[in-house]
Amino acid sequence: MVRFKNRYVLCEVVSEDPRCRQCIEDRTLGLAVRDAIARVHGDYGLACCSISFTVKYLNAYTGTVLLRCRKDSYRLLCSALPFVRYLESRAQRYPCFLNTLHVGGTIRTCQRFLIQYNRTQLLRLLQNCTNEEERQCIQKSLLSCSLTEEQSQSGDEEEDDGTE
């Protein structure tokens, strides 16, 4: 069957500044990644990677980003991701870095991985949280997160929304 194969790269934006998370937008992130590819791989790399390059999913609360690119050029993209140093929006620079979590062939595999990853993150938060209420809240969300059948086309499932 002839169809275009894509690779979906799941990343997490890590930064020290708490304001950085609020200003993450798909356009700013796309620009930052393209800029990094241009710096590392030059014009050829930028042209190759931007054939089918979009930011598919963005979660400003957790800083999760899902990027899409062609299967032939995902190596160029992945090797240029460590070079993203800051996000620039509204004339302000926020230093940050992208942490690659998972590369998958479909959105669904990335979503599955994301749910597992969020589960482990919640467990870690559980260890660190001091308030009893917070503890119970987190435990409840842990027990209720799952992959449900009602999926929007952009794979918009977070464990807070997912219920049985």
Partner 1 sequence: QNILTVCFSVGYSAVALNHVIDFKEKKQEIIKPVSPSELFPSLPIVQGTSKRIKILTRLTLVVSDPSHCNLLRSTSANIRLYDIIAVFPKTEKLFHIACTTLDVDLVCINVTEKLPFYFRRPPVNMAIDRGIYFELLYTPAIKDSTMRRYTISNAISLMQICKGKNIVISSAAERPLELRGPYDVANLGLLFGLSESEAKAAVSTNCRATMLHGETRKSACGVVYTVKKPRKVEEEETAVPACKKAKTQA
Residues of this chain that bind partner 1 (CB under 8 A): 14-16, 39-40, 75, 78-79, 81-83, 85, 95-101, 120, 124, 127
Radius of gyration of the CA atoms of the chain, in A: 17
Alpha carbon dihedral 72, 152, 138, 133, in 10-degree steps, equals: 140
Nearest to partner 1 of 15, 59 (CB atom): 15
DSSP structure class, residue 62: T
CB-wise, 79 or 144, nearer to partner 1? 79
- As measured in angstroms, the least distance from the Cβ of 60 to partner 1 is 19
* CB 82 to partner 1: min, Å: 4
Q: Nearer to partner 1 by C-beta: 71 or 148? A: 71
Least Å from the CB of residue 49 to partner 1? 14
The residue type at 133 = E
Place of tokens 């009602």: 150
Instruction: Read off the tokens for 5.
Output: 């194969």
